[in-house]
Amino acid sequence: MRQKVRKCLLLISFLLFPITIWYFSPYLIINAAMEHIINGSFIVFCLMLVLSMFFGRAWCGYFCPAGGLQECAMRVNDNPAKQKNRDKIKYVIWTVWIIAVISSFICGKNDVRINPFYMTDHGISVSGITNYVVYYAVIMLLVIPSIIHGRRAACHYICWMAPFMVIGSTVGRWLHLPQLHVEAETENCVKCGLCNKACSMGLDVREMVQANSISKNTECIQCGACVDGCPKKALKYKWTWKR
């Protein structure tokens, strides 16, 4: 039941993407920074950073429109995406982008002001034909890697939002804040591999269960698919950390 609700939320989020896309834009935040404007995407990225201290990457698992699109793409390619060094690409992208944002703000003009609806039409992102060109270009950018490489490949390789939540969840863990995460009870595991088949990120959950390291994996999006798919209840959601 939980996974049906989760997938329904992701689908709704994706259907609303034409309205919300500018609030996740890595470009508009740079454009706004040049004018010393704190825009909608700046606010959203800050919220992701702060909330991930308590919820990890649950945004990715339950509400991200790009995640909803990529889970639809699993019907075409359900193979796990290759990871290891490829996962680091997004951190290179993020670092260059953040430097660009900071540089734009430093070089910007005018007094600092807040405009959450910057470059939107009464809060709606895609309101004209030209905007749809950008919208569908973003859709292609997100869906093509998943079709070619497998489960949520864009999340693994190019997502500019994921590092905010990785940083936030890591800080939350260091501070021992209550944080939603998955923990394993290794003694209950029978190595059936159903958790691997269920994982929407294509992670090797079985190996992490044996190593008791799943709660520290930065690619886990707390979707709970492995929790719900485990017949022996070897995986559980937790809020507090083991001492």
pLDDT at 234: 92
**What is the average per-residue pLDDT within 106-125?**
92
Share of the chain above pLDDT 70, in %: 99
Q: Are 85 and 149 in a shared domain?
A: yes
| Domain housing 233 | 180-243
Q: What is d(CA 120, CA 21) in angstroms, rounded to the nearest whole number?
A: 10
Domain finish residue from 176, 199, 233: 176
Nearest to 161 by CA among 19, 23, 3: 23
pLDDT, greater one: 108 or 19: 19
* pLDDT tens figures, 76-100: 999 999 888 899 999 999 999 999 9
Q: Are 118 and 148 in a shared domain?
A: yes
Report residue 242's pLDDT band, with 50, 70 and 90 as the boundaries: low
Looking at the whole model, is its pTM more than 0.75? yes
pLDDT at 240: 82
Q: What is the mean pLDDT of the chain?
A: 94
**What is the average per-residue pLDDT within 145-166?**
96
Domain CATH number, residue 200: 3.30.70.20
| Count of the separate structural domains present in the chain | 2
End-to-end CA distance of the chain: 32
Positive or negative torsion for Cα 236, 193, 90, 134: negative
Q: What is d(CA 67, CA 161) in angstroms, rounded to the nearest whole number?
A: 12
Q: Are 9 and 124 in a shared domain?
A: yes
Burial of 167 (0-12, 13-18, 19+ CB in 10 A): middle
Q: What is d(CA 205, CA 197) in angstroms, rounded to the nearest whole number?
A: 9
DSSP secondary structure, 52-121, as one string: HHHHTTHHHHHT-HHHHHHHHHTTT--SBPP-GGGGGHHHHHHHHHHHHHHHHHHH--S--EEETTTTSB
Q: Are 149 and 195 in a shared domain?
A: no
pLDDT at 37: 96
Q: Are 223 and 108 in a shared domain?
A: no
Task: Reply yes or no on whether the pLDDT at 243 is more than 60.
Answer: no
Q: Are 168 and 130 in a shared domain?
A: yes
**What is the average per-residue pLDDT within 36-59?**
97
pLDDT at 52: 97
Q: Are 82 and 118 in a shared domain?
A: yes
pLDDT at 216: 84
